[in-house]
Amino acid sequence: MKKLDWYILKKFLTTFFFAIFLFTIIAVVVDVSEKTDDFVKSRLGVSRIITDYYLGFVPHIIALLFPLFVFIAVIFFTSKMAGKSEIIAILASGTSYSRWLRPYWIGGIILAVMLWFANQYVVPKANQIRGTFEAKYIDGNSTYDALLMRNNNIYQRVDSFTYAGILSYDTMSKRGGPVFLYRIVNNAVVENMRAESISWDTSVKKWRMDGLLDRKLHPLNEQVTLEASKVMRFEFTPNDLNQDKYTKDKLTSPQLDRFIKLQELRGSEGLNELKVERYRRDATCMTVLLLTLIGGVVAGRKVRGGSGVHLAVGFVIAALFIIADRFSTIFSTKGNLPPIIAAWIPNIIFIFVLAYLYRKAPK
């Protein structure tokens, strides 16, 4: 690391963190203005709203726009350097163009690693805080959402041989019923289990079934068992039954991998949406590095109009990237595009964009 590297890297990181700090304040102010009525209805104090909501909201919004603000920060400080002819002086001193981009590589990799770690573990934990608050105090104010919660019927494949259904399952109390369960072997039902209700026993971490009727079917007879209450172990937990729009965002990457495998086993729908989310957590980190280099190459040229022209070009490139990302996601979740391709195709496209811009840049 030479003085040149430290000089550019310091400008890069300082500009980025200052920009993201200002935007976070603006985002919080806008969000407060939109949710004031919901906060009043919740009857929570300021400290509770901060700890129960904004400790989750702030990491979420930062991670969401992290690549965009990396791009804007790079264009802004690089354009300032180009306007002062600093880049011309650097290249005229004998420094090669690729050598000049070295601090951009270093800064991009540092920020990409930060975002990767946050996407895997930190942001999902933050989304648990944000999602729980919104489900309880914001979405809960909607009569439509409340109706869905009251009629939350669950039908799913438990394992390779077992199918279950739980009527009127309440995710808050972790209780539902009536419940039925069929076990099928060689296309024949070998066990039929029904119960009036099912609830999660937190003391033993198992399911308690009340009013149980268990019929085990044999080729020539059947065995019927009646029990008032029975504790049983199934291959699902209350977390697996929480069917809300925040589920995929709340799970850390190891938990999301497990959840995807479980849903594949059950033959659930909407798997592509889960897989796109999982692959995007890795792909976004590469996006940070690509946008860093593209921003450096675009803003490194001194042009008439200064920063304004560079920022305009930057916003066009960012808009094209977002459009490519949205289209690929839709083609995967609503069509047959493989999720891994949907998550990585914007990066693949912009690798060629970076190569073209680098080749055309004045050196």
| C-alpha span between 197 and 208 (Å, rounded) | 8
- How much is the average pLDDT of 107-135? 91
The pLDDT of residue 148: 42
Name the pTM for this structure.
Answer: 0.77
**% of residues, the chain, pLDDT over 90:** 28
pLDDT digits 0-9 by tens, 78-110: 988 888 888 888 888 888 888 999 999 999 999
Report residue 271 as tokens.
């798997």
Output 174 or 266, whichever has higher pLDDT. 174
The length of the chain, given as a count of residues: 363
| Strand spans (E) along the chain | 154-157, 162-166, 175-176, 179-185, 188-195, 197-201, 206-217, 222-232
Q: Which residues pair with 162 in a beta bridge?
A: 183
Report residue 325 as tokens.
């990302």
pLDDT digits 0-9 by tens, 271-329: 888 898 899 999 999 999 999 999 999 888 877 656 667 778 777 887 888 888 888 88
- How much is the average pLDDT of 111-139? 88
The pLDDT of residue 267: 67
Local structure of residue 190 (DSSP, 8 states) = E
| C-alpha span between 113 and 266 (Å, rounded) | 34
Give the residue from 49, 26, 47, 22 showing the smallest Cα distance to 37. 49
Please work out, in degrees rounded to the nearest 5, the angle formed at the alpha carbon of residue 355 by the alpha carbons of 352 and 361: 140
Quick check: bond before 362 cis, omega within 30?
no
To which residue do tokens 């920063």 refer?
A: 307
The pLDDT of residue 73: 92
Give the residue from 314, 272, 262, 308 showing the smallest Cα distance to 291. 314
**% of residues, the chain, pLDDT over 70:** 89
Report residue 46 as tokens.
């300021």
Output 346 or 220, whichever has higher pLDDT. 346
Local structure of residue 89 (DSSP, 8 states) = H
Please count the CA atoms within 13 angstroms of the CA of 111 that sit on its side-chain side.
34
| Long-range contacts formed by 303-306: CB under 8 A, 24+ apart | 303/82, 306/79, 306/83
The alpha carbon of 283 is separated from its chain's Cα centroid by a whole number of angstroms, namely 12
Quick check: bond before 124 cis, omega within 30?
no
Output 15 or 141, whichever has higher pLDDT. 15
Local structure of residue 136 (DSSP, 8 states) = I
- How much is the average pLDDT of 50-57? 91
- What is each CA distance from 24 to 9, 27, 117, 223, 234, in whole angstroms? 22, 5, 20, 64, 43
The lowest-confidence range among 20-29, 194-203, 213-222, 237-246 is 237-246
| C-alpha span between 246 and 131 (Å, rounded) | 6
DSSP-assigned states of every residue in 232-262: E--S--HHHH--STTHHHHS-HHHHHHHHHH
| C-alpha span between 250 and 172 (Å, rounded) | 16
